[in-house]
Each structure stands twice: as structure tokens, then as C-alpha cells.
Structure 1
Amino acid sequence: MKNLVVLLYVISALVVSVLSNECYYVFSPNSTTSEESKIECIGDRCMSAFQYANSDGNTIKSLFKNCANESLCGTYGSIALENFIFSYFVHCCDGNLCNTEKYERPEEDPTPNGKKCPSAYCTGNLEECKSEKEMNCTGSMDRCFEFRVEEDHPGEPTRNSSVKGCANSDGCKHNFDGTIGVTASRKTYLRC
């Protein structure tokens, strides 16, 4: 009986330690700095997600820290159109309040990789965006993609977009579902 009681205490301590992990929480769209708070997590992993967008020289960097989303850990998604690049990187760590990283973004290799894709960007509808433009893909972006999406942004009307360009495998796999600053994203079409 004594052994059973000791075993129950050990199991309880393990369950409590798994359920009581804390991670830093930051939601900072369009910024890399924000006040950190703490959040209780199930599991012992935390994450930091870094997002980068550059359109015609205008750069937006965003940061998100939270409990780990295991399906995103270690991913580096990247897409490019003729004058636009969007990428995200997700770093996960083990332990209480371990997600202390400052903003970071792995640089995409700018060397052409031999792949060419159509490049198009249309707003206002969810039809196929047609264009005669073609672009040279670079670095890890070795796939052509077409993506149509309906997005809700805080305080703004719904945006419909249709785009074509180059993407890497993580960009195709995760569909950019976790775009920081978008409250809802409804894909209507994705093809890589």
C-alpha cells in the first residue's frame, strides 16, 4: 500500500509539472517589440514565431510567442512574387519560460535555383489571377504556387486576394495559416 501511495505522488507531481509550464506570451503584429506576459501551457514546450514581409521596399516584421504548436516547430516558410516576399520562422524550446529569443529571420538564399514560376497578385476577388509575368525562383523556393484567400484584419474590411509565385516546401505545407495580425483566414484554393 505504501508503494502505491508513493507511486501516486510521483505520478501527480509529473502531471502537475507538465500542466504548469509557463511560456512568454507576445502578440506583436507589425512590430518586433512588445511587453511580454506569461501564459500557462499544457506540455513543456514554448515557441517564438517570427514573420517578415517586404513589398516594394516596405518591410513589416512581426513577433508572436506562446505555447508551442508542434506542427509548426522548426518550420521556415517562404513565398515570393515579383516585388513581394513573405516568410516565417518558428523556433520551439523545452522548459519553463524558455522562449526568450529576440526577433530573428534566417536569410533566404538569393541565388536563382533554376525554377521559373508565373508571378501574379490580384485583390478584390477570389478568381484566378492571370498574368504573363514569370519570375526566377531563388534559394529553397523550388515550387510554383497559386493561393486564393479571404482574410479578416482587425478594424479593416475583409480582403480577397489571389496570388501566384515561388514557394518552399514549408510554405506549401503550412499554407501560411498562422499569419500574425490576421484574425481569420479562409483559404479558397491552394495548389503547389
Structure 2
Amino acid sequence: MKNLVALLCLVFALHSSVFSYKCLSGVSHNSTTCNVSEAECLGDRCMTVCQYFYVDGIYFKSIYKSCANETICGLKGSGFHETVIFRFYVSCCSGHLCNTDEYYLPKDDPTPNGKFCPSAYCNDTVEECKSPHIVECTGAMDTCFDYRTEAIVFDGTSRNYSVKGCINAAACKLNFGDCIAITEKKRSLLTCNEPSIKLNKP
């Protein structure tokens, strides 16, 4: 009986070693490259998340590598106000240590799509930021967003943000709480709605 148990343990160990996959794992908050280590994963898929975030005249290019989160594989999204831009892309691959890809973001389509959203930005409050401005959305950004939060940027500074503008469905699905360079401390609001203003074309 002991021999049988030992044999089963050996078979299990061999099976686990054969079918155990690893992915490159690492994160950089303000660079297109990062130092990586190896992480064991439950599945055989790895991912690389690339992000661009522009706010207050400062931009962050960030990259994150890890075991794949299947719910976000393939997602790419954009959101913008005149002074705030958020873009990301999630690429996934299959196989041992396969996520060797470099920083890459697909280009946004700059073509106006005939939809408009309220546009506002305040960096000192989590209350509604009010503005008479309207921004014309472009490409796949066909949704209006209103986002208010207290967040910590990568240098440890805590700031309040209140932003309105255009966004696409993928960016709303990922939501700003998953930003690499900015960590939500306390969210006050995130809504994504159909544009209430549209351009009538003949």
C-alpha cells in the first residue's frame, strides 16, 4: 500500500512538472520596459498589458506582465478629455514564458464619429466637475463617461480627480481602477452612458 501511495505521488509530481507553465512577471509604472521574474501559472496563457496615461501635462507609459487574466485578453480601449488621455491594450499568448512582447499600443482612429460628450476636468475635487464644453468623439469612442476618484499616482502622491469625456466600451469594462500608474484610493463615481448629443448628417 505504501508503495502504491509513493507511486501515485510520483506520478502526480511528474504530471504537475510537465503541465506547469510559467510566465514572465513584472511591472513598470513609468517606462516601456520592466525587470521580470518567472511566475508559475494555473493555465498556459500569459499576458502583457500596455498603457498610456496623460494628465496635467505629464504622461505615463506603463507595462505589466503576468499570468493571463482571460476576462481581459484582447481588450483595447481609449478615453479622453482635452487634457486627459487614457489608452491600453492587453495581449495574451499561449505557452511557457511566451509573453516576451515589447511595449505596443494600437493607434487610435482620429476620425470624428459624429457623437459628442460633455467635457470637463478638475484635479482638486471628487465632486462633479462642471463645464460648458462639449468634445467630439473619435473612432470607436462612442460613449460618455463621468469619473470621480481619490487616487495615488506612482510617486505616492494622493490626488482628487473629476473627469468627463468620451470613452469606448472596452475601456469602460476595464475601468480606471485597473490603471497601472494610478491606484484608486476611494472611488466616488464611474458612469458610462450613450451620448446625449449627436451630429445629424444628411
| TM-score normalised over the length of structure 2 | 0.83
Partner residue, 1:124: 124
8 Å CA contact retained: 1:177, 1:185: no
8 Å CA contact retained: 2:26, 2:35: yes
Based on CA coordinates, which of the two structures has the bigger radius of gyration?
2
| Corresponding letter in the other structure for 1:42 | L
Q: Which stretch shows the higher mean deviation, 78-87 or 148-157?
A: 148-157
Give the Cα separation in 2 of the matches to 1:136 and 1:184: 28
Give the Cα separation in 2 of the matches to 1:13 and 1:55: 51
Q: Which stretch shows the higher mean deviation, 134-143 or 71-80?
A: 71-80
| Corresponding letter in the other structure for 1:100 | T
Give, in angstroms, the shift of residue 34 of structure 1.
2.3
Partner residue, 2:73: 73
1:134-173 matches, within 5 Å, as: 134-173=134-173
Give, in angstroms, the shift of residue 184 of structure 1.
4.0
8 Å CA contact retained: 1:22, 1:97: yes
| Corresponding letter in the other structure for 1:76 | K
Give, in angstroms, the shift of residue 57 of structure 1.
6.8
Task: Provide the aligned length of Structure 1 versus Structure 2.
Answer: 189
Give the Cα separation in 2 of the matches to 1:58 and 1:150: 18
SS of 2:115's equivalent? strand
Give, in angstroms, the shift of residue 165 of structure 1.
0.1
8 Å CA contact retained: 2:29, 2:154: no
SS of 1:46's equivalent? strand
Moved over 4 A (4+): 5-18, 55-58
1:31-180 matches, within 5 Å, as: 31-55=31-55, 58-180=58-180
| TM-score normalised over the length of structure 1 | 0.87
CA RMSD, 1 decimal: 2.5
Given the superposition, is the C-alpha separation of residues 71 and 176 from structure 1 closer, same or farther in structure 2, using an over 3 Å criterion?
farther
SS of 1:177's equivalent? helix
Instruction: After superposition, give the CA deviation of every residue in 1:67-124 in whole Å (9 maximum; x if it has no partner).
Output: 1112211111210101332101001111110101011000010000001001111122
Instruction: After superposition, give the CA deviation of every residue in 1:134-178 in whole Å (9 maximum; x if it has no partner).
Output: 110000100011011121234533211110000000111121222
Give the Cα separation in 2 of the matches to 1:73 and 1:111: 26
Given the superposition, is the C-alpha separation of residues 17 and 178 from structure 1 closer, same or farther in structure 2, using an over 3 Å criterion?
farther
8 Å CA contact retained: 1:154, 1:181: yes
Identity of aligned residues (%): 47
| Corresponding letter in the other structure for 1:44 | D
Partner residue, 2:197: none
